[in-house]
Amino acid sequence: MKSKSQKAPTGDKRSEKNGVANGRSPDLKVKVEDKMDEGQLTRLATGVTVDTGPTSSAVVGCTRFPHLTNVYTTLFKPSHKPEKAAFVELRKGIIQITAVENDRQPRSLVILTGLKTLFQTQLPMMPREYIARLVYDHNSKSLAIIKRGYKVVGGICYRPFPHRGFAEIVFFATASVDQVKGYGGMLMDNFKQHIKRTYSDVMHFLTYADNFAVVFFKKQGFSKEITLDRSVWAGYIKDYEGGTIMQCTMLRKVNYLEKASIISQQREAILTKIREMSKSHIVYQGLPQFQEGAPEGIIVDPKDVPGLRESGWTPGMEHSTRSGKGAEHTQMQRLLSDLKAHPLAWAFLNPVNADEVPDYYGVIKRPMDFSTMEHKLDTSQYSTLKFFLDDIQLVLDNCKLYNPETSIYHRNAVKLEKFMKEQCAEFAKRGS
């Protein structure tokens, strides 16, 4: 075993698989296996075929087992961004996040089996027997995302060491078809808050991440810098060759289920401070010369434009403003800005890190990314729009060459390519 994957390796051209039967559109009919009474559940947990006939006591979800589950349904919606699909599904009850361990109860065994299957599917480089042994181990704990009953679409398996003040994240994965919904980040936030509530002395996490999971864990507050003394954790967690050990330290004062709300408040505080020092937020009325019905051919003196002087403009800037780089340069800036702001562009913003993806530059001989393109644009290295569009295509072609068609990276590249062509067509239509 050369490496250990904590999160589904979405960009791994060798290991990602498509069509995992763990996700289902909310508008589809609930399957029979998702509607089970307690008797059917017990039979399923013991390996006996479940009677698929109708039953008056069938239930959906976990309402029959409130004493066995700890479900987190608190939702904090960001005020400045659209609500992610994961939070919509959580709020509507399509999915639930539940704590589970091997207490030999039928419901627990069904969910643990779903977790085992998910990890074995999403982490194909890990031995199947090893995954099964750890998931069912009595020392292991888990947090699972279950959809419309007992279908596991995401989960985290961990081992707590309360007497040492840390927990090891053993496996972390979400179903391939659901990874764009934000399940991973939502699960991690719930996991952090669950640990704070359950183990008051545990404030640190350690995990071994493979190359394609490092970026995800960084976004969740993990770092390659291990500040926890080695004597605390050495000998308690298994060392994996080829993996990158990472650490996360929680803050006691932070409720991680309120993270979006906290960030929103911080943002507003910063903007308030900016308003005290700047007038850029003030909106002036449009000039009457440009209102509907005004006569044509009127020349406006820049000094008469409301707010122009307040913005820092001086008459000496007039010449430099008129001697711009032209409409084509403006079009390239606009298109690149639209691409960078696209929600699926996160993997293309910066160069691929060779430390995290060692074989990338052995496969890709002409690397390109949006930050490099921005530098080339700022330094006037694109003489025509064609060369600029060629670089965009190079970014997307590189991604499709390195990653399999089933990967989220490849799918995002296809969607961005379609978006780019639509934007170019729109610019041409407007005559930009």
Residues with a catalytic annotation lie at 168
Euclidean distance between CA atoms 71 and 107, whole angstroms = 14
Encoding tokens for residue 205?
């996490």
Phi first, then psi, for residue 158 (nearest 5°) are -140, 165
SS3 content of the chain, % helix, strand, coil (to 5): 40, 10, 45
How many CB atoms are located within 10 Å of the residue 372 CB? Answer: 14
Distance CA 217, CA 224 (A): 10
Residue 217 Cα distances to 8, 137, 154, 212, 234, angstroms: 12, 25, 16, 10, 21
DSSP state of 107: H
* Both structure tokens of 391: 């670089």
**d(Cα 369, Cα 349) in Å, to the nearest integer?**
6
Contact yes or no for 35/60 (Cβ under 8 A)? yes
Q: Which residues are paired to 173 by β-bridges?
A: 155
Q: Are strands 141-147 and 244-249 parallel, antiparallel or unpaired?
A: unpaired
